[in-house]
Amino acid sequence: MEKKIIGRKEKISIPDFDLKLVWAKVDTGAYTSSIHAENIQVVEEEGKKKLTFQVLMPGLKGYTGKLLTFDKFREKKVKNSFGQAEIRYLIEITFKFAGEEYPAEFTLSDRSSMRNAILLGRKILRNRFLVDVSGYNLAKTYRQKTKF
């Protein structure tokens, strides 16, 4: 499989979240991908645990304020950018990027103090992409070929 060349920042779409072409930071230093989430709660409905949350932040392009609910989730220990271990919720979603759809695991975290609300880690990138750190939005050439 030929690897696609992408930049340090790219636009992705996440249909499950009604997000279309929002910026994500490509981070080869992070193993797991992450997305900013607020109002994260585990609720119990009819004897089943469900995870509810909102993605992105008010004022960001793509922010809907919509409360999302997932019944398939788990907890994962992750080292944050400061090297401290913390427990985060992890969900599996499909995202559109560089002209294709990919299944992926994203952790939910408070990225409000970070420049980018979405981070794409090595697990998603491995064996699919080469990262050109001098560029950004390089995947648009692949999107144009497939009308994403």
Is residue 30 over pLDDT 60? yes
In a domain, 9, yes or no: yes
Please compute the mean of the pLDDT values over residues 9-34 and round it to a whole number. 92
Residue range(s) defining the domain that contains residue 88: 4-131
Question: Would you state the pLDDT for residue 2?
Answer: 83
Amino acid (1-letter code) at residue 101: E
Q: What is the CATH number of the domain that holds 51?
A: 2.40.70.10
Evaluate whether residue 103 is within a structural domain.
yes
Say what the pLDDT of residue 148 is.
Answer: 46
Contact criterion met (CB below 8 Å) for 120 and 8: no
Structural domains in the chain (count): 1
| Four-residue CA torsion sign, 132, 137, 141, 142 | positive
In this predicted structure, the answer to whether residue 58 has a pLDDT above a threshold of 70 is no
The pLDDT assigned to 65 comes to: 78
pTM confidence score: 0.87
Domain assignment present for residue 27? The answer is yes
SS3 track for 116-143: CCEEECHHHHCCCEEEECCCCCCCHHHH
**Residue-wise pLDDT tens digits, 91-148:** 999 999 998 999 999 999 988 888 889 999 999 999 999 999 999 999 988 876 555 4
pLDDT of 80? 74
